[in-house]
Amino acid sequence: MADTLRIVHCFRSPVGGIFRHVRDLTEAQVAAGHSVGIVCDSMTGGAFEERLFEQMKDMLALGIHRTPMQRHVGPGDLASAWCTYRIIKELRPDVLHGHGAKGGAYTRLFGSLLRVSRSRVARLYSPHGGSLHYDEKTATGKLFFALERFMAHFTDYLLFVSDYERRTYRRKVGEPSIPNSLVYNGLRAAEFEPAITRPNAVDLLYIGMMRDLKGPDIFIDALALAGPRLGRTLTAVMVGDGDDLPRYHAQVKRLGLENQIRFLPPMPAREAFALAALVIVPSRAEAMPYIVLEALAAGKPVIATSVGGIPEIFGSGSAALIRPDPAELADKMRQALTDPAAYRKLMPDGASLKARFGVDVMAADIEKAYFGALNR
At 175-188, the pLDDT tens digits run: 999 999 999 999 99
Compute CA distances 87 → 55, 58, 104, 121, 168, whole Å.
22, 19, 16, 15, 33
d(CA 92, CA 274): 43
State the CB neighbour count (10 A cutoff) for residue 360: 12
d(CA 148, CA 66): 25
Give which of 289, 266, 373, 367 is closest to 3, Cα–Cα: 367
Contact 64, 56 (CB under 8 A): yes
Contact 165, 288 (CB under 8 A): yes
What's the pLDDT score for residue 72?
A: 65
What's the pLDDT score for residue 76?
A: 66
What's the pLDDT score for residue 201?
A: 97
Contact 32, 367 (CB under 8 A): yes
What's the pLDDT score for residue 2?
A: 62
Compute CA distances 27 → 12, 327, 362, whole Å.
19, 41, 12
What's the pLDDT score for residue 75?
A: 65
What's the pLDDT score for residue 74?
A: 63
Weakly modelled stretches of the chain, pLDDT under 50: 1
d(CA 99, CA 158): 10
d(CA 41, CA 50): 12
